[in-house]
């Protein structure tokens, strides 16, 4: 199979080249290759490595009315994303190898694109739990610093919790310090939802307006969590990954930690780069998420962090709740929104507006693939890599419309937005997506 005549983004930069594929793997990337089988006409198109979204919430198992692996991966495929890495707050939460294996089997039966799985760190987790999850294929571990755990429902809840014997306290900095050496030994990343519960408690209030949401989740919560987790990670020599970075203060705190040698990656999301609180009147509760979409100044700082390469990863925090749930009053609408389908388009637009469209595949594919240990198989168009390819038309346009969303939920913070690109065709291991099942991806360098 030959992708002929396109502009290919390779690890050495963009070039005119053909891409030869055999058995789902890229074998050559050179100009003037002769076809011996099927030819895909890529003239006038960008040939990009498929997106790797390291922050999605499949809701599967647990909340089929919100999403499942089939609808999640259809949305991903439509947006040029060929690997999704699912967060562990499904039900039962992914806190053991057994739960992880059962979830992998379920995902295998439904997924249209490849998938990876994060494991959960609970305040009661042991090093052995993590070792077993790593052996079962976890890409890394996520700790929700401000979310408690319901023992009866085996579920991560959105609040730190009060005096309730059913609620296990959130993982805290002590939990991180206790488990970081084990994570470091495994060579896997330690990911955090960076909101400090004591800061949140000090600002708690009823959420009647968007302003209340902003005041209840101040940037200090992000900065404090990040700073403390960074100190722990640095001491243990573990790689810290900060999910959905949302604030200028968080960014500055992360840069301070990087300056003293902390191994740390920053992920932000299209919604933090393209929207600010000013958009709420137009967009409504689709914008309700945690951490919140903040001020125009926060947005500008994040865009600048991305431009400078300090923020290396853009993933989505694709977190669907039902259209009906999201149409409730602001106080009652749950936090989180779908996003995987508009990830690549958003980033192509941002990169183009920054003056270098080729930054997009670095944020969306190359850097996230490296984070989850897939740097030898995903995230690049080069010999030896899986032929996960998005063909993008730089002369096409896409206006985001609710009815074209493939997620089980149709609301989108990007609805109505126009992008100067169109995704034409998407291939997973050399086959048009949909023609083949997704496989589970596992980090290449797991210990043991
Ligand atoms: C996420 C969800 O709904 O699972 N919600 C959100 O607002 N981001 C949880 C999370 O990523 O923190
Ligand atoms: Zn989160």
User: From atom 10 of ligand 1, which residue's Cα is the shortest distance away?
Assistant: 290
Distance 243 CA to ligand 2 centre (A): 6
pLDDT score of 444: 85
Pocket of ligand 1 (CB under 6 A): 57, 89, 193, 289-290, 317, 319, 335-336
Average pLDDT, integer, range 257-283: 98
Average pLDDT, integer, range 311-333: 98
Average pLDDT, integer, range 319-328: 98
**pLDDT tens profile 117-139:** 999 999 999 999 999 999 999 99
Q: List the one residue out of 138, 199, 144, 187 whose CA is nearest residue 169.
A: 144
Q: pTM of this prediction? A: 0.98
pLDDT score of 447: 46
Average pLDDT, integer, range 375-381: 97
pLDDT score of 347: 99
**pLDDT tens profile 200-252:** 999 999 999 999 999 999 999 999 999 999 999 999 999 999 999 999 999 99
**pLDDT tens profile 28-45:** 999 999 998 999 999 999
User: From atom 6 of ligand 1, which residue's Cα is the shortest distance away?
Assistant: 336
Distance 222 CA to ligand 2 centre (A): 11
Index of the ligand 1 atom closest to the CA of residue 243: 11
Average pLDDT, integer, range 157-181: 91
Per-residue tokens: 256: 């301070």
User: From atom 5 of ligand 1, which residue's Cα is the shortest distance away?
Assistant: 336
What average pLDDT does the chain have?
A: 97
User: From atom 11 of ligand 1, which residue's Cα is the shortest distance away?
Assistant: 317
Residues within 5 Å of ion ligand 2, judged at the Cβ atom: 193
Average pLDDT, integer, range 378-384: 98
Res. 393 pLDDT band, cuts 50 70 90: very high
pLDDT score of 247: 99
CATH of domain 50-379: 3.20.20.140
CA dihedral 80, 86, 91, 93 (to 10 degrees): 180
**pLDDT tens profile 79-109:** 999 999 999 999 999 999 999 999 999 999 9
Index of the ligand 1 atom closest to the CA of residue 89: 4
pLDDT score of 319: 98
pLDDT score of 191: 99
User: From atom 4 of ligand 1, which residue's Cα is the shortest distance away?
Assistant: 319
Distance 157 CA to ligand 1 centre (A): 10
Q: Which residue has the higher pLDDT, 422 or 444?
A: 422
**pLDDT tens profile 340-367:** 999 999 999 999 999 999 999 999 999 9
pLDDT score of 264: 98
Index of the ligand 1 atom closest to the CA of residue 57: 4
pLDDT score of 448: 39
pLDDT score of 36: 87
pLDDT score of 77: 98
pLDDT score of 445: 64
Res. 195 pLDDT band, cuts 50 70 90: very high
Please give the share of the chain, as a percent, with pLDDT higher than 90: 97
């Amino acid at each position: 199979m030959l992708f002929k005549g396109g502009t290919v983004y390779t690890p050495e930069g963009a070039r005119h080249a053909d891409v030869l594929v055999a058995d789902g793997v890229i074998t050559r990337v050179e100009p003037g290759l002769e076809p011996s089988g099927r030819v895909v006409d890529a003239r006038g198109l960008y040939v990009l490595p498929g997106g790797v979204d390291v922050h999605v919430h499949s809701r599967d198992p647990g909340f089929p009315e919100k999403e499942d692996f089939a609808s999640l991966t259809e949305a991903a495929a439509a947006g040029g994303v060929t690997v999704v890495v699912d967060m562990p707050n499904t039900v039962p939460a992914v806190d053991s190898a057994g739960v992880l294996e059962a979830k992998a089997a379920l995902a295998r039966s439904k997924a249209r694109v490849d998938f990876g799985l994060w494991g959960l760190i609970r305040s009661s987790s042991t090093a052995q739990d993590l070792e077993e999850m790593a052996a079962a294929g976890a890409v890394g571990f996520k700790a929700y610093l401000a979310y408690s755990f319901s023992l009866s429902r085996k579920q991560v809840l959105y609040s730190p919790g009060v005096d309730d014997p059913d609620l296990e306290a959130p993982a805290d900095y002590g939990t991180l310090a206790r488990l970081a050496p084990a994570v470091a030994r495994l060579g896997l990343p330690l990911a955090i939802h960076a909101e400090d519960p004591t800061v949140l408690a000090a600002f708690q209030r009823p959420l009647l307006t968007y302003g209340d949401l902003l005041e209840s989740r101040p940037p200090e919560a992000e900065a404090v969590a990040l700073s403390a987790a960074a100190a722990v990670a640095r001491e243990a020599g573990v790689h810290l990954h900060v999910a959905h970075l949302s604030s200028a203060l968080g960014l500055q705190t992360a840069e301070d930690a990087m300056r003293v040698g902390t191994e740390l990656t920053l992920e932000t999301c299209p919604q933090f780069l393209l929207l600010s609180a000013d958009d709420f009147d137009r967009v409504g509760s689709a914008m309700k998420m945690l951490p919140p979409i903040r001020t125009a100044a926060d947005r500008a700082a994040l865009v600048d962090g991305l431009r400078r390469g300090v923020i290396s990863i853009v993933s989505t925090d694709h977190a669907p709740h039902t259209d009906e749930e999201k149409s409730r009053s602001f106080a009652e609408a749950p936090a989180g929104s779908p996003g995987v389908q508009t990830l690549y388009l958003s980033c192509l637009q941002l990169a183009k507006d920054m003056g270098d469209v080729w930054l997009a595949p670095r944020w969306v594919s190359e850097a996230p693939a490296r984070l989850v240990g897939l740097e030898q198989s995903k995230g690049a168009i080069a010999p030896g890599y899986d032929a996960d390819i998005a063909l993008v038309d730089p002369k096409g346009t896409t206006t985001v419309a609710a009815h074209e969303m493939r997620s089980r939920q149709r609301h989108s913070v990007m609805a109505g937005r126009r992008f100067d690109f169109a995704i034409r065709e998407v291939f997973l291991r050399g086959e048009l997506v949909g023609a083949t099942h997704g496989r589970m991806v596992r980090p290449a360098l797991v210990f043991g």
